[in-house]
Structure formats: C-alpha cells, structure tokens
Structure 1
Amino acid sequence: MTSGLTIGGRKRRGRLYRWSWCLAVIVVALAGCSLTTTAYRYADRIVLWKLDHYFSLNRDQRQDVAQRLTPLLEKHRHEALPQYETFLQEIRQRVERGLTGSDIDWAYTTYDRLRADLFERLVADTGVFLASVDTKQVRVFESTLQKDTIQAARVVQISTPERLNKRVEATLDLVKDWLGPLTKGQKSQIREWSLALPDVEPMWVAYQQQRRQELVTLLHQPRTPERIARELRAMFVYHDQTAPQAYQSAVSQMRENAKAMALAIDRGVTPEQRRHAVSKLQRLIDQVHDLQAG
C-alpha cells in the first residue's frame, strides 16, 4: 500500500522532516511543510520565525531573507509543485492497480530526486544568509542545536523494546490513516512486520549529530557565500556521497525491509481499503494542484 512507502518509519520520518525544517530554515527552505496548504501558504512567515529562533535575526537579515523568499517560493510553486503533483498522480495509479517492487523502487528514486532538487534550489541563498551571521548568532545557533541534540538523544536512551513498540503504534496509526479501519489479523501482521524492521534510530540520531556539528564547525570558520553553498551542497544535496558508510548501509537495509513490508500489506488490503487510500491520495493531489494557483 502507498503507506508502506514510509512504513515503519513514521516517527523517524517525522523527525527527518523536522530536521529538514531545521536545515530548510538554515537554507531558507520549505522542507517539512509536508505540502499542507496552510504551511505552504505561510512558508515565508514560518521560515522567518524559525530562522529567528535559531539565529536571533537582526533587522537587516530579516529584510534580506524576506526579499529572497518571495522569488524563491514563487519559483518553487511554479516549477516544483507540478512535479509533486505528477509524482502523487503516478503513485495513485500504481496504488489503484496494486503495488509491485519496481513501484516502490521508483518511489524511492523519485523522492530522492525531488529532495535533492529542493535543497539545490536553496543552497545559494542560504550561503548568502549564513555568511552574514556574526559570532554571537553562531553561539545562539550552537546553543539551540544543543537543545535539539539533547532531546533527540532521549529517544535512543529508552530501552530497545520500548522504542520498537512505539514504532509499532506509529506504524499502525499510519496504515490506519491511509487504509481506514484494520482487521484484527491485519493489525497482528503489521505489528509483527514492524517489530522485524531494523532498529536504525540510534544510527539516525548519530547522523543528525554529525551533520549538526559539521554545520557549526563551518560557521566558526572564515566563510564566503560560495564556500558555504559548496559545503551545504555536499552535506545535503549529495548527502548519499558524504554520509558515513554505516549510515548509508542502514538506510539501504531499512528501505529494503520496508519495501517487503509494503508489498505484504498491499497484498492483504480489501477493495474498500484500496479505495480509501486512492481517495486520500486524490485529496492530496487536489491540495497540491490548488497551491499552484497561489
């Protein structure tokens, strides 16, 4: 089922989007809005608010960021949103006829391409902004990130069984959201499959911490907009080439296991559940289409 494209990782994906928001904030972005109408329409205000939270902006910076956001968001709406709509339309068609392994591989590949495209749109303006932050603002940023790091670390401090059980409940909630009510048998199978997925949470938290530290280190050094853009591109656009091998292996393993789980769920859905998922996808497509009108 389409929900299986992110199955077993709702909590992680939620944190991924929040960290993407942090990055998007740093790179003056939209990542994390999940394409919700309200978040997208007020993205400029949200980005400014988050930037101020992480850096305590001065008046000139606030004005410069606001001016840069207008054309950036306009271009994104006209160029990127149609791609998102097409992506969702193709997902809907594949879900309607039943998923195959190649469908999920395609979804992973397309997601990676759209993600890279999003961050590529942001790095140049981000370089200009980050080149403008002073020593005091770097300290504010470092302190705020440290609070985020402490909060993330609490997630992996709980016992593995408790963490996995939380993931099971998140997975069940996600599948129910996409399929509607689940049978007792479906719940039991999904619980079993979710527990069997690899526990990559500690690896993900460690990776977050590494990237945060790289960013802080960059800001403590002499910097130009061009150098910052180059470093951000390496960290976030081409992250698959610069991430630790252990992390890349963990992500690959999780994707393969999630793929098998998604296919198993899809084989067991009822016609009514499939219609529920297709209708939900169509509503999302309609939202994305409406956003393109401004």
Structure 2
Amino acid sequence: MSRWLTRTALFIAVLLTLTACSRVGLAYRNLDLIIPWTLNDYLEINGEQKDWFNERLKQHLSWHCTTQLPGYLDWLDRLKTMVQTNQVTDAALQQRTQEAKAAIAETAREITPSAIQLLQGLSDEQVADMDAAFVKDQRKRQEEYLKPSLQEQIQARSKRMEKRLNDWLGPINEAQRQRVMAWSTALGDQNQQWIANRAHWQNQFSQAVAQRHSPDFPQRIEQLLVNRESLWTPAYREAFSKTEAQARSLLIDLLADSTPPQRERLLKKIDGVKKDFSDLKCLKSARS
C-alpha cells in the first residue's frame, strides 16, 4: 500500500508542479506554464502581444480540454486503481510516469507554434530583458540551493519532501521520516547538476532567440520546448535517471510503511484532483 501512495503522490506532484500550481483549476487557466519556461517570469510583453497571446491561449485551452483532459481523468483512474488494489509496482509507476510525460509533451507541442510566433516578434530590448532575467534566476538558485553546505542541502531537500508528503498522506511517522532522509542523502549533490543543466538550457534558449529571424529558428525552439531532454548535459542525464529511480524506491518504501488513514487520505486527494478537472466548464460543455 505504501508503494502505491508514494508513486501516486509523486506522479500527481510532478503533474501539478509542471502546471506550476497546486490548484488544478488555476493551473489549467495558465496552460502556458506547462512549457518549461514561465512567460511572466522572463518576458515583459506589451499590451498588443498580451492580447494576441491570450487569444491564442484560449484556442489552445479549448483543444486541450476536448482532446487531453479525458485522458487525464483516465490516468487518474488507473492511478487510483493501483492504490486500491495494492498493485503499485516499480514497472507500473514507470508506465504512469511515461504516460504523463507523453501528455505534457503533446501539450507543449501544441503550444510551441504560438510561442515561436510570439518570440519572433520580440524587440531587441525585450530579448535583453529576458537574458537579464535568466542571469538573475541563475544567481538566485545558486544562492538558495548551492551556497549552503551539502549537509544543509540534504536537510532542506528532506524537509521539502516531508512537506509534500504531509499534504498527500498526512503526518508521516518516524520510520517514513528516516526513509525520506536516506533518500535525500542518496541524491547527494544533485542540486549542482540540476542548476547547471537549467543554466545550460537557458543559455541555449537565449542563443536561439537572438537568432529568432533565422530559417531554423522554429526547429530550434521546438527542440528546446518539446524535446528538451535531448539537450541535457551528460552529467544531468545520468543524475536525472538516478533521481527518478531513487524517487520510485522512496515512494514504494513509504507506501509499505503507510497507515490506513494515510492511504485513505491519498485516495481522497486523487479524487479531489479528478473532481477539479471534471468540474471545469469546458469539459462539461465538451461532454454535453
């Protein structure tokens, strides 16, 4: 049972993190955040650009609601069944994760042409501001995640995971807390690879946007937004594979040590996410 809870919590947490919001409805209204760069954080767009992008976003949302959301609901049902029937395995968790990644990639692919058009219309000043925002972001993350000692990084990572688990499972017990610490310790200096790879992606994005009027610009942006894993640094690619394996192992062990109230809470959380999606007006209209 613990394994199911862990995998379930991880997958939904990943999904909601990618939509950059813990409330599904609000996240859905900001579908542009699914792509791996946050428009509002790095770009200052003018009124005309904002009006154009918002109109395009409405079209994307309509497409997403009618073609993608039903699949999300089915995915949540499969996840819930895994928990209810005690059929959460490492292979099953990997399958659910791959399904989620495929869904996110499909949405990013749908949005990318609009992103390309918007980026091609940026002024030199807007591009300079975006580059400056990337530099600021890199400094901020280095200060927060790399300046502390390795032991402090491990402690902070453990606390962040405990907070997420408390939301999905309720208060965790001492055995679970120790397992979380062991997981965080095993990741070691993962922060270093993560931030280095993030800076690597941002630098490539800046280089591409600087050449936004070149014939191969659309292909470069599609790779950056849709196939970004192909551009990962070798060190991060290796670290990410280990991180995913460690996360699955953690979830499996936590669920093994879970209590009936924790499992009940997890199932209710899954139902809550499903209800948030099901209650969206666009989905109701599409089904009527």
Query: Which TM-score bucket, shorter chain as reference?
Result: 0.7 to 0.9
Matched, 1:202 2:204: no
Question: After superposition, what is the alpha-carbon deviation per residue over 1:58-107, rounded to whole angstroms, capped at 9, x for unaligned?
Answer: 33312221221111111112212222221111111112222211121112
Decide whether the 8 Å contact of 2:120 with 2:213 is kept in 1.
yes
Alpha-carbon distance in structure 1 between the residues aligned to 2:172 and 2:202 = 40
Match of 1:262 among 251, 260, 263: 251
For residues 171 and 233 of structure 1, do their structure 2 counterparts lie closer, same or farther at Cα, with a shift above 3 Å needed?
same
Matched, 1:160 2:150: yes
Matched, 1:240 2:242: no
Partner of 1:4: 6
- How far the C-alpha of 1:153 sits from its partner, in A, is 1.2
The sequence identity of aligned pairs, in percent, is: 21
- How far the C-alpha of 1:38 sits from its partner, in A, is 2.7
Structure 2 SS opposite 1:293 = helix
Matched, 1:54 2:42: yes
Match of 2:210 among 220, 224, 227: 220
For residues 9 and 103 of structure 1, do their structure 2 counterparts lie closer, same or farther at Cα, with a shift above 3 Å needed?
closer
- How far the C-alpha of 1:55 sits from its partner, in A, is 3.0
- How far the C-alpha of 1:56 sits from its partner, in A, is 2.6
List runs of 5+ in structure 2 lacking aligned partners.
none
Partner of 2:96: 107
Decide whether the 8 Å contact of 2:32 with 2:57 is kept in 1.
yes
Question: After superposition, what is the alpha-carbon deviation per residue over 1:160-206, rounded to whole angstroms, capped at 9, x for unaligned?
Answer: 10011011111122222222232233323333333223431111101
List runs of 5+ in structure 1 lacking aligned partners.
21-30
Match of 1:81 among 40, 46, 69: 69
- How far the C-alpha of 1:53 sits from its partner, in A, is 5.4
Decide whether the 8 Å contact of 1:2 with 1:262 is kept in 2.
yes
- How far the C-alpha of 1:35 sits from its partner, in A, is 5.6
Q: TM-score, normalised by structure 2?
A: 0.85
Alpha-carbon distance in structure 1 between the residues aligned to 2:11 and 2:190 = 9
Alpha-carbon distance in structure 2 between the residues aligned to 1:262 and 1:52 = 33
- How far the C-alpha of 1:36 sits from its partner, in A, is 1.8
**Which letter does structure 2 place at the counterpart of 1:81?**
L
**Which letter does structure 2 place at the counterpart of 1:221?**
Q
Q: Please, what is the CA RMSD of the aligned residues?
A: 2.9
Matched, 1:211 2:201: yes
Alpha-carbon distance in structure 2 between the residues aligned to 1:135 and 1:32 = 28
For residues 218 and 271 of structure 1, do their structure 2 counterparts lie closer, same or farther at Cα, with a shift above 3 Å needed?
same
Aligned length in residues: 276
Alpha-carbon distance in structure 1 between the residues aligned to 2:140 and 2:198 = 12
Matched, 1:176 2:166: yes
Structure 1 SS opposite 2:213 = coil
Alpha-carbon distance in structure 2 between the residues aligned to 1:80 and 1:35 = 18
Partner of 1:136: 125
Decide whether the 8 Å contact of 1:44 with 1:66 is kept in 2.
no
Match of 1:231 among 202, 220, 231: 220
Structure 2 SS opposite 1:32 = coil
Match of 1:97 among 78, 81, 85: 85
- How far the C-alpha of 1:286 sits from its partner, in A, is 0.8
- How far the C-alpha of 1:7 sits from its partner, in A, is 7.7
Decide whether the 8 Å contact of 1:7 with 1:258 is kept in 2.
no
Structure 2 SS opposite 1:122 = helix
Alpha-carbon distance in structure 2 between the residues aligned to 1:222 and 1:127 = 9
**Which letter does structure 1 place at the counterpart of 2:230?**
Q
Matched, 1:284 2:273: yes
Structure 1 SS opposite 2:253 = helix
Decide whether the 8 Å contact of 1:204 with 1:247 is kept in 2.
yes
For residues 6 and 138 of structure 1, do their structure 2 counterparts lie closer, same or farther at Cα, with a shift above 3 Å needed?
farther
For residues 271 and 59 of structure 1, do their structure 2 counterparts lie closer, same or farther at Cα, with a shift above 3 Å needed?
closer
**Which letter does structure 2 place at the counterpart of 1:4?**
T
Alignment of 1:39-50 (within 5 A): 39-41=27-29
Alpha-carbon distance in structure 2 between the residues aligned to 1:5 and 1:285 = 17
**Which letter does structure 1 place at the counterpart of 2:201?**
R
Alpha-carbon distance in structure 2 between the residues aligned to 1:7 and 1:248 = 23
For residues 245 and 118 of structure 1, do their structure 2 counterparts lie closer, same or farther at Cα, with a shift above 3 Å needed?
same
Greater CA deviation, 124-133 or 254-263? 254-263
Decide whether the 8 Å contact of 2:10 with 2:251 is kept in 1.
no
